[in-house]
Amino acid sequence: MTPAADTVKQREIVFHPTPPAQIERAHALLTALPRLVVQRSGERALTVHYDLNDHCLEALEGWLTAQGFHLEVSLLLKLKRALIYHVERVQRENLREPELSTKNYKPHVEVWSRRPHGDHDDTPQEWRQYK
């Protein structure tokens, strides 16, 4: 299980220069979301603080894009986003409780323990020798 402090994330969302004033609109929309802290971190960037149990960067940026915002699409930022998306997706999967084993191995163990161990080849002796 991942420690709780490991689930608190601080990420930067960088916007494209056009259209103008989208930072202010995005800031207003993101601050309305529960358990999400948003700060202005640059001329075209917002810093978001969240817990992975509540939000993930992929969902936040997807939601902003669906609202009509334009994110920066430079190659470096695309690679950075892809890595963060993957890491957070895996971490969120690992946060879920493991599935209970549906197989009951007890009958198999009991049968195996009653069976004599050693060479169990049932091939007749005359078939074992090459002549």
Q: How many CB atoms lie within 10 A of CB 26?
A: 20
pLDDT 10s digits, 113-128: 777 766 667 777 778 7
- Residue 95: is its pLDDT beyond 70? yes
Q: What is the pTM of this model?
A: 0.70
pLDDT class of 37 with cuts at 50, 70, 90: very high
Taking CA 35 as the corner, what is the angle to CA 42 and CA 77, rounded to the nearest 5 degrees?
35
- Residue ranges covered by each domain of the chain: 4-95
Quote the tokens at residue 116.
Answer: 């004599």
Contacts of 14 (CB under 8 A, 6+ apart): 42, 44, 45, 71, 72, 77
> Which amino acid appears at position 4 of this protein?
A
Over range 58-87, report the average pLDDT: 96
Topology (CATH level 3) of domain 4-95: Alpha-Beta Plaits (3.30.70)
